[in-house]
Amino acid sequence: MKLIILGPPGAGKGTQAAKIAERYSLAHISTGDMLRAEIALKTPLGLKAKTLIDAGELVPDDVIIDMVKARIAQPDCVNGFLLDGFPRTVEQAQALLTFTELDSAISIDVPDEAIVDRMQKRRVCGSCRRTYTSDELSAAYIVDGCTWRRAQYCVACGAELAVRDDDKPETVLHRLKVYKEQTLPLIDFFTERGLLTTVDGNGSVDSVAQSIFNILDR
């Protein structure tokens, strides 16, 4: 399968993409994660991207298109891939269809209020990048009994949890604006090509995943 997952910032694309990739043995390609890896390595691309990401702006189309084109040419994509966070503009979508076919585009729909709330609560491991829901942090609090300490460290690798630089409330609002102006037109783009299915992203992580599996299993 060659899939894309669309949705506003914080809709749960990354969370669901991990589950989909595991179930269908697909390469999970997150352009946000790829850019954050460049930032961590302090490459020229990473340094340029950091300024844009922290401001809630998109990285230029040509840079991202080249990055994705090279990535899906890798051997692990031969049996299928899931693009998470790409395409994000009509220009990116048009370019994508020049170098690959697509089987399906899943759009996750979540209202703005829920997104702002999720982003305020999101914590990410500073080392392995595992993302935590507020429920998971609360669960860690109860299980350990040493609430405030336990919830600040990653259960997978033990590194400290952090707030993403682009999750500041004012940046989140700007990212939503950018999404509506530049990415929302992709809903029509993929609908016109018969590829789009929308799921309600406002349920639990598992119930949203089940809705997506029901679509993809068909």
Other Cβ atoms within 10 Å of 58 Cβ, number: 19
* Residue 13 among the catalytic residues: yes
Binding of ligand AP5 by 86 (CB under 6 A): yes
The DSSP bridge pattern shows strands 123-125 and 161-162 to be: antiparallel
Question: Does the footprint of ligand AP5 cover residue 52 (CB under 6 A)?
Answer: yes
- Supply 91's token pair: 């220009």
Q: CB of 64: closest distance to ligand AP5 in angstroms?
A: 4
Nearest CA-CA partner of 178 in 166, 162, 160:
166
Choosing from 12, 29, 96, 107, the residue that interacts with ligand AP5 (CB under 6 A) is 12
Residue ranges with strand state E in the chain: 2-6, 27-30, 81-84, 104-109, 123-125, 131-132, 161-162, 196-200
Helix (H/G/I), strand (E/B), else coil: 157 = coil
Q: How far apart are CA 8 and CA 5, in angstroms?
A: 10
Q: Which is nearer to ligand AP5, 154 or 208 (CB)?
A: 208
Residues 25-44 that bind ligand AP5 (CB under 6 A): 31-32, 35
In angstroms, give the least distance from the CB of 154 to ligand AP5.
13
d(CA 203, CA 76): 32
Q: Is 10 in the site for ligand AP5 (CB under 6 A)?
A: yes
Q: Is 123 a catalytic residue?
A: no
88 binds ligand AP5, rule: CB under 6 A? yes
Pick the closer one to ligand AP5 by CB: 76 or 109: 109
23 is known as an active-site residue: no
Nearer to ligand AP5, 104 or 199 (CB): 199
Q: Does 186 bind ligand AP5 (CB under 6 A)?
A: no
Say how far apart CA 127 and CA 133 lie, in whole Å: 17
Distance, CA of 194 to CA of 32 (rounded, Å): 26
Residues lying near ligand AP5 in the complex (CB under 6 A) = 7, 9-15, 31-32, 35, 52-53, 57-59, 64, 85-86, 88, 92, 118, 122, 131-133, 166, 175, 201, 204-205, 208
| Residues acting as catalytic residues | 13, 88, 122, 164, 175
